[in-house]
Amino acid sequence: MPWAASVPTPEPIASDPMNTGGSPSTIPTVPAPAPSVPSDTPTNGALGPIALRRLTTVEYENTVQDVLKVAPGSTAHFRPDDTSLGYNNIAAALSVTPLLAERYAVTAHSLADSLDLNVFAPCAASMAEPACVDAFIQSFGRGIFRRPITNEELLGYGTIYQDERARSNYAGGIRLVAEAMLQSPHFLYKTELGEGSGVERKLTAYELATQLSYLTVGSVPDTELTAAAEAGKLEAPSEREAQLRRLLNTPRGQRWLTTFVEQWVGISDAGYLAKDTGAFPKYTGTLSQAVVEESSRFIGAVLSDAGASVETLLTANFSFANTELGEHYGLAQPPTDWQRVMLPEGQRLGILTQSAFLVATSKLRDSFPIRRGKILRSRMLCGDVPPPPADLMVKPAVINDDTTTRLSIEAHSQMGTVCAGCHTLMDPLGFGLENYDATGAYRTQEFGKPINASGSINSVSPEIDGPFANGIEFAKRVAPSQVLQRCVARESLRWSIGRETLAAPLTDANVLRDQVLISALAERLAAHQSDLRELLVGLVLRDEYAFRSNP
């Protein structure tokens, strides 16, 4: 247990499981926020260690669609990727388990079986068969490996062809080569190995193109990006910026950036969450789908029309609705089909008051202010919540069935000072959303008692700390703040580079590098009207974007 042992930890006091509560051995203290590092601090020259990043299921799906020209659905039976830090593309959490290797094998067979050989492996009567085979291995490999194949690979896959040719025929051999290539680690992993043998490795032009492409559209480089890579242009930060802006402004680029926002805010799985059908008979499958579509349309609109402004994401007075969702939101005139709508004034503002977020942060039947507060604090404010003492034993207070959610949580979590120490960091944030039930419907009463949606931001920063009247006021205060800018900078960096960002100690060169990057990105965001796209531009413009270190 080397990691746990390195953390200063108090000895727990043995406690009786039936104990009714009493003081734990320690009362947690709130950690001081980390000071931000000046963005012009010199740092080491590599973005991180050399790495292999397994394609996520979505990236795999996009890649085979683009290269093999197949219809969507190849990955319909893949299980969702493990998430870490809230994102599904964190390399450390992505491996090839036996189960996934099976899926890859079955899918590769299916894809190879349906490959149109007239398109991918034509062999005119005038051509010699070996030439046709080599041409196929080179072109197919170039597409899915995202680089030219090596001589060794040409020979290796050539052998697979020849062995199968002896068993069957030309088509059989070609299909088996395709089946193998579709299980190759050179397809399944995006490599960041670089060239040479020194400590600092420059990414190859193909690796750079792959980085840029999966960052912006979640798939293989297109023709233009490939041409830029082959011409050696991507070494120039300005060319990287130009390519990135071009790709971000395509519909695919906007959709891909939408997936970042969905994962950052934590609404990706909202469509899978059921609610108590007895309490919410109107929360049907179609409404659940509409809830997801609303946020997707809204984020897409902000990214394409509204300057991709983070501030607008949190404070827009408009959204999108169909009839069912319009009724769910109590719109005076629900639209007949999907369209942009104005939100009821004083009831909703921005993405944190949309049903997707509220559904994802609720229980089956009840709102869940503790979870809502924890997520608001960690995802929007990048604030820590210290752990509860491990020997803490609490018997819940006895409450009546018609006690409001807020009062029952206050009775559980805020009695005495022991729990309040941590829960004041979370619960008062979540209370701001008490006007929305577990399905995101607006409410002014619970069990016939008036809703109290007042709350406060505690121990984050003098810039935003203090009481607020409701979630709308919270969103308005946080949206333009430096706290949010720095937080979304950190979050976008994690998503962009697929790894944890390092926070301490600053004497470590890699920690310093990450903290400087976050400062630089936050400043860029502030200087560009909180345009999310600038976070990615700021990253690819950095010299270290093209370098990795080994070890």
Partner 1 sequence: MLSRTLLKRRELLLGLGSAGFLAGPVFRESLAEGQTSAFPIRFVPIYLPACEIANKFNFAKALAPLVPFQADSIVFTGVNNDAATAVWRVSGEPHGAELRTLLTGDSSVKALENASVWAKSDSIDQIIAQKISPDLKFTTLQFGVVSETHSNPLDQRRMIFKNSTPQPPIEDPGYMFARLFGTGIPQGGGASTANTSSPADVMARGKSVLDRMILEVTALKQVAGAGEQQKLDQHLTSLRELEKQVLGGTAVGDHGLLGASPGPSCAAPTLTPVPYAQAYPPGSGAGPDIPGVTSQQFQLLYQAWNCDLTRTASMQLLGTAHTEVGFNWLGVKDDHHALEHSGAGASAAMDKVQSFFTGEIAKFLGLLKSTPEGPGTMLDNTVVLLFTDFSSGEGHSHLDIPFHIFGRGGGKVTPGRTIAYAGKPHNLLLRSVLNVFGIDQASVGDEVAGTPLSLS
Between residue 481 and residue 510, which ones bind partner 1 under the rule CB under 8 A?
500
What secondary structure, in 3-state letters, does 200-224 show? EEECCHHHHHHHHHHHHCCCCCCHH
Touching partner 1, residues 31-50 (CB under 8 A): 49-50
Whether the Cβ atoms of residue 520 and residue 112 lie closer than 8 Å to each other: no
- Count the site residues for partner 1 by CB under 8 A: 108
Using the rule CB under 8 A, give the single segment among 76-84, 350-358, 512-520, 525-533 that binds partner 1.
76-84
Nearest distance from C-beta of residue 460 to partner 1, angstroms? 17
Nearest distance from C-beta of residue 447 to partner 1, angstroms? 16
Q: Is 271 in the site for partner 1 (CB under 8 A)?
A: yes
Q: Please say which residue, 359 or 521, places its beta carbon nearer to partner 1.
A: 359
Q: How many CA atoms lie within 13 A of 340 on its CB side?
A: 9
Nearest distance from C-beta of residue 17 to partner 1, angstroms? 4
Choose which of 23, 72, 101, 148 interacts with partner 1 (CB under 8 A): 101
Tokens representing 289?
Answer: 């789908």
Q: Is 121 in the site for partner 1 (CB under 8 A)?
A: no
Q: Please say which residue, 9 or 317, places its beta carbon nearer to partner 1.
A: 9
Distance CA 123, CA 140 (A): 14
Nearest distance from C-beta of residue 43 to partner 1, angstroms? 20
Touching partner 1, residues 237-266 (CB under 8 A): 266
Q: Is 371 in the site for partner 1 (CB under 8 A)?
A: yes
**339-342 and 445-446 strand pairing:** unpaired
Helix ranges restricted to H, 20-91: 57-68
Using the rule CB under 8 A, give the single segment among 100-108, 136-144, 253-261, 445-453 that binds partner 1.
100-108
Tokens representing 471?
Answer: 């979630």
Q: Please say which residue, 39 or 408, places its beta carbon nearer to partner 1.
A: 408
Long-range contacts of 393-398 (CB under 8 A, 24+ apart): 393/15, 393/16, 393/17, 393/19, 393/20, 393/21, 393/22, 393/24, 394/21, 394/419, 395/20, 395/21
Q: Is 376 in the site for partner 1 (CB under 8 A)?
A: no
Tokens representing 550?
Answer: 């080994």
Choose which of 84, 138, 347, 456 interacts with partner 1 (CB under 8 A): 84
Distance CA 37, CA 300 (A): 33
Choose which of 102, 195, 305, 465 interacts with partner 1 (CB under 8 A): 102
Choose which of 47, 55, 58, 85 interacts with partner 1 (CB under 8 A): 85
- What does the DSSP assignment read for 261-296? HHHHHT-TTGGG----TTT-TT--HHHHHHHHHHHH
Tokens representing 58?
Answer: 């979505």
Touching partner 1, residues 148-207 (CB under 8 A): 156-157, 159-160, 163-164, 167-169, 171-172, 175-176, 179-180, 183-186, 189, 193
